[in-house]
C-alpha cells in the first residue's frame, strides 16, 4: 500500500477524509503545512507525522505519493521536485499557470519513475457511471449541444485568503480555478475542443482576476457548447445539460459533486425511455468525489489504468484556459491547440 504525504491542510483536509475512506489503498504517513496548528491537528487525525518543511517530505524515501494541496503558484515548482525524487505527484487544480509550465511537467514526468495525477474529482459518482453504461449500450449517439453553468457565491470572506484573486498567486480567476471542473467534464463527455469564443469580466468582486465569463465551444466532433460562469450568484450551483443524438442528460445543481446528483436521462424517442430506465437501474452506487478519484489513482498505480485523471488531461485543461483567455483578450475565435509562441502560452496573466 502506498505511503502518502499531504502538503497543505486547506482542501488537503478533505483529501485526508477521502483517504480515510480507502484504508486498504493508502496510508497517510505525513502532513506538511507551515500552519503548525492546522498541520499538527491533521497529522494526529491520520496517525502520521507532522512536518512544516517540504524538503523533509521530499527526502523521505518511504513516501511514494506527494499530494500537493498548496496555493496554485506553488504547484509546478513542488511537483517538479516530487518527480525528480521519483515519487508520484497528486496535484490540485490548476496543475500549472501556463502551457509552458504544463509542458515542463510533461517533460519531467517522462524522465521520472513517478506520474502526475491532476485532481478532477468531479468526474466520479454514480451519475457518470450511468452515462457510461448508456454509452456502452450504444444509446446516446453523437454529442450535439451542451449548456453548463458554474454559478457560485464567492465573497470578501473567500477572498480574505491572500492568494485568492491575485495573478501572482492564484494565476487566474473563475475560468482557471472554478469552472475548470465543469469544462473538464464537458471534454470528457463531449470530446476535444476545436475552437473557442469567450468574453470574460470581473463583475462580482474587487479582485484582479476574472470572476464571470460567457464562453462558446465548437467541439472537434461538430457539437456546440456554452459555459456561463459567475462567482456572484446567490448560492453555489453547477448545472450541466448534455444533448446527444438520442438522449438528453441533465444534472441537478449540486455544486461540488455533480456525479452524486440524481440526473435525468431522457430518450428523444419516447418509445425508448424504458430501455434507458432498465440500463440505469442496473448501475450500482459508486465512490464519488475525492474518494472516487483516489480509488482510480490507486488502480493506476497498481497497474490497472483507465479511470484515473492523467497529466494529458491536466495539460488539456490548461490548453483550454489559455484559448479562453486569448479569445477574450484578442476579440477573436481561437483554435486549439494554442500556438506555443503566443504570449498567453508563457503566462495567463493579463
Ligand X SMILES: NC(=O)c1ccc[n+]([C@@H]2O[C@H](COP(=O)([O-])OP(=O)(O)OC[C@H]3O[C@@H](n4cnc5c(N)ncnc54)[C@H](O)[C@@H]3O)[C@@H](O)[C@H]2O)c1
**Binding interface with ligand X (CB under 6 A):** 7-11, 32-35, 38, 54, 69-72, 92-93, 119, 121, 161, 177
Class of residue 228 by CB neighbours under 10 A (exposed 0-12, middle 13-18, buried 19+)? middle
Nearest to 312 by CA among 113, 105, 80: 105
Name the H helices within 21-64: 36-46, 54-58
Q: How far is the CB of 225 from ligand X (least distance, A)?
A: 21
Number of H-type helices and E-type strands within the chain: 13, 14
Q: How far is the CB of 142 from ligand X (least distance, A)?
A: 31
Q: How far is the CB of 324 from ligand X (least distance, A)?
A: 17
Nearer Cβ to ligand X, position 8 or 143? 8
Nearer Cβ to ligand X, position 32 or 225? 32
Class of residue 232 by CB neighbours under 10 A (exposed 0-12, middle 13-18, buried 19+)? middle
56 DSSP 8-state letter: H
Longest dimension (CA), the chain: 62
- 196: part of which helix (H) or strand (E)? strand 193-201
Per this entry, what is the length of the chain? 350
Nearer Cβ to ligand X, position 114 or 172? 172
Closest residue to bound ligand X by CB: 10
Taking the alpha carbons of 149, 155, 158, 164 in that order, is the dihedral positive or negative?
A: positive
Q: How far is the CB of 52 from ligand X (least distance, A)?
A: 7
Nearer Cβ to ligand X, position 139 or 150? 150
Nearest to 202 by CA among 227, 229, 239: 229
Nearer Cβ to ligand X, position 153 or 273? 153
Q: How far is the CB of 248 from ligand X (least distance, A)?
A: 27
Q: How far is the CB of 293 from ligand X (least distance, A)?
A: 9
Nearer Cβ to ligand X, position 178 or 326? 178
47: alpha, beta or left? (left if phi > 0; alpha if psi -120 to 50) = left
Q: How far is the CB of 78 from ligand X (least distance, A)?
A: 8
Q: How far apart are CA 235 and CA 213, in angstroms?
A: 17
Nearer Cβ to ligand X, position 4 or 54? 54
Amino acid at each position: 500500500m502506498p505511503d502518502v504525504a499531504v502538503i497543505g491542510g486547506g482542501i488537503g483536509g478533505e483529501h485526508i477524509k477521502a483517504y480515510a475512506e480507502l484504508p486498504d489503498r493508502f496510508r497517510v504517513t505525513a502532513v506538511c503545512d507551515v500552519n503548525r496548528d492546522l498541520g499538527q491537528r491533521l497529522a494526529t487525525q491520520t496517525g502520521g507525522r507532522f512536518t512544516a518543511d517540504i524538503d523533509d517530505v521530499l527526502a523521505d524515501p518511504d513516501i511514494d505519493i506527494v499530494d500537493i494541496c498548496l496555493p496554485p503558484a506553488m504547484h509546478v515548482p513542488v511537483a517538479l521536485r516530487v518527480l525528480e525524487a521519483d515519487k508520484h505527484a497528486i496535484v490540485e487544480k490548476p496543475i500549472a499557470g501556463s502551457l509552458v509550465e504544463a509542458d515542463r511537467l510533461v517533460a519531467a514526468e517522462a524522465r521520472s519513475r513517478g506520474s502526475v495525477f491532476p485532481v478532477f474529482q468531479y468526474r466520479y459518482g454514480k451519475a457518470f457511471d450511468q452515462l457510461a453504461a448508456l454509452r456502452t449500450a450504444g444509446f446516446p449517439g453523437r454529442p450535439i449541444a451542451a449548456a453548463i453553468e458554474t454559478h457560485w457565491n464567492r465573497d470578501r470572506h473567500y477572498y480574505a485568503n491572500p492568494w485568492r484573486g491575485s495573478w501572482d498567486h492564484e494565476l487566474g480567476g473563475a475560468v482557471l480555478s472554478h469552472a475548470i471542473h465543469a469544462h473538464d467534464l464537458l471534454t470528457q463527455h463531449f470530446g476535444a475542443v476545436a475552437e473557442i469564443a469567450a468574453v470574460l469580466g470581473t463583475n462580482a468582486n474587487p479582485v484582479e482576476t476574472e470572476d464571470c465569463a460567457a464562453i462558446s465551444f465548437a467541439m472537434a466532433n461538430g457539437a456546440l457548447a456554452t459555459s456561463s460562469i459567475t462567482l456572484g450568484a446567490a448560492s453555489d450551483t453547477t448545472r450541466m445539460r448534455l444533448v446527444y443524438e438520442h438522449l438528453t442528460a441533465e444534472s441537478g445543481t449540486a455544486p461540488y459533486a455533480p456525479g452524486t446528483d440524481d440526473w435525468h436521462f431522457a430518450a428523444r424517442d419516447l418509445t425508448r425511455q424504458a430501455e434507458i430506465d432498465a440500463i440505469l437501474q442496473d448501475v450500482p452506487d459508486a465512490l464519488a468525489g475525492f474518494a472516487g478519484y483516489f480509488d482510480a489513482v490507486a488502480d493506476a498505480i497498481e497497474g490497472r489504468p483507465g479511470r484515473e485523471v492523467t497529466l494529458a488531461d491536466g495539460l488539456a485543461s490548461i490548453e483550454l484556459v489559455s484559448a479562453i483567455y486569448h479569445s477574450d483578450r484578442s476579440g477573436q475565435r481561437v483554435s486549439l491547440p494554442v500556438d506555443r509562441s503566443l504570449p498567453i502560452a508563457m503566462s495567463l496573466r493579463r
